[in-house]
Amino acid sequence: MIDVRRLRTDLEATEAALARKRVPAEEVRRAAKLDSQHRQLATKAEEMRSRVKALSKQVGDAMRAGGTGQGGTAREESRRAGDELAALEQQISVVEAQLRDAMLRLPNLPSQDAPDGASEKDNVVIRTVGYDPDRYGPHQRSPHWEIGTELQILDLERGAKISGSMFPLFRGQGATLVRAHCQLALDRNSDAFTEVRPPTLVRTAALEAVGQLPKFADDAYHLERDDLWAIPTAEVPLTSMRANEIIPEEELPVRLMAYTPCYRREAGAAGRDTRGLLRVHEFDKVEILAICRRDQAQALHAELLDRAVGSVTALGLPYRVLDICTGDLGQSHARQFDIEVYAPGCDMWLEVSSVSWFSDYQARRAAIRYRPAGGGPVQICDTLNGSALAVPRIWAALVETYRQSDGTIELPSCLHSYLRGSTSITGSVRS
């Protein structure tokens, strides 16, 4: 969350910054008012505690002196003051909960470098690489859901039979291709990132830490019996690995990566294209994440973006990089770059990676701090992450792009070692 002290010392600037994310000023002012109310009540409670303590001392002194009249009066005053203090503490608890909820719902301040805009239509295309609309033959203009059915490598009908719509089922070489993509991404980043296999069910605090809760509860899968949540991305458990920890400065930056399945309800997908693998509820992804000092963040952001671009480049897919405008930035994001690949069968640019800097927003929520090597007070860390490779849309774009005129799919050489010796998908399956 943002530092509550901003609301006390620089309210107008905070309102202006959040207005770039289309946050109404009244939401910011409500949080500021609750903070002021909470501090006033806390001061009053402290004064009341001092009064109760003084009255208790009077009662004790009177009792030791053998007096009853003065002690009885002080005892009655002490009882009334104690009741008032209990009521005041209850009021503080209510306001404290309201303030916490308001602060959790306020998004992060956007970076000054993020382009202004109202929606995804205002995102800025920084560069486009390898795209030529005239290079594609008719055989590459078939959508992946038709290719997958023809080659028996994607079975959306049986996936829906098992779990409902938007739960894909990959078969044969299609399933092998899913794993090949993930292993490629892990291998490409193993030089600098420690691999982790985290749990995919997490506690509420883990989703709160990254900014998914409470605002985006409708997009998440909740196991109410155990009060656990299915992760929407490995960012969630990787961030919370270091929650409530103080990291020695010499260990920064912390670099982690993980392959996990990911789960999203896509509650906000109404009216969007959900054919094939364009939007799914479950998918595989490799995430790379860094925890660092503020002065390390810019270089790390550039590195994470380069690594994500490198995987797309290795697969030989045309891509473009977008600088996400303030109106399209996520709840926790200060700056974000997206990578999109072109899928000729869908004739669409598909987002396959988001590379994001969260400043200290997530780390403040998760209490991830570092101890400066030169001494001094502990400091809040910064966090960053990126999709090293997210399978469904990469899978879709690759199948469409590399389809041959005979209907088979020739695969890029970087995947060959992960495909049990195969260099193409011919569609043979055993069941």
218-236 pLDDT, tens per residue?
999 999 999 999 999 999 9
d(CA 20, CA 13): 11
Q: Are 368 and 247 in contact (CB under 8 A)?
A: yes
Same fold for the pair 5-105 and 120-425? no
pLDDT at 127 over 50: yes
153 by DSSP, 3-state: which?
Answer: coil
Give the pLDDT band (50/70/90) at residue 431.
very low
Q: Give the model's pLDDT for residue 81.
A: 87
Cα dihedral: 240, 243, 248, 254 (round 10): 10
Segment 188-197 shows an average pLDDT of: 98
Segment 129-133 shows an average pLDDT of: 97
Let me know if domain 120-425 sits in CATH 3.40.50.1860.
no
pLDDT at 52 over 80: yes
In degrees and rounded to multiples of 5, residue 410 shows phi and psi of -85, 130
d(CA 229, CA 123): 31
Segment 322-348 shows an average pLDDT of: 97
Q: What is the CA radius of gyration of the chain?
A: 28
Give the pLDDT band (50/70/90) at residue 61.
confident
Query: What are the Cα distances from residue 411, in Å, to 118, 246, 399, 417?
Result: 39, 46, 8, 11
Q: Are 352 and 312 in contact (CB under 8 A)?
A: yes
Let me know if domain 5-105 sits in CATH 1.10.287.40.
yes
Segment 22-40 shows an average pLDDT of: 97
Closest CA to 364 of 21, 38, 6, 42: 6
Segment 377-406 shows an average pLDDT of: 97
Domain ranges within the chain, ordered by starting residue = 5-105, 120-425
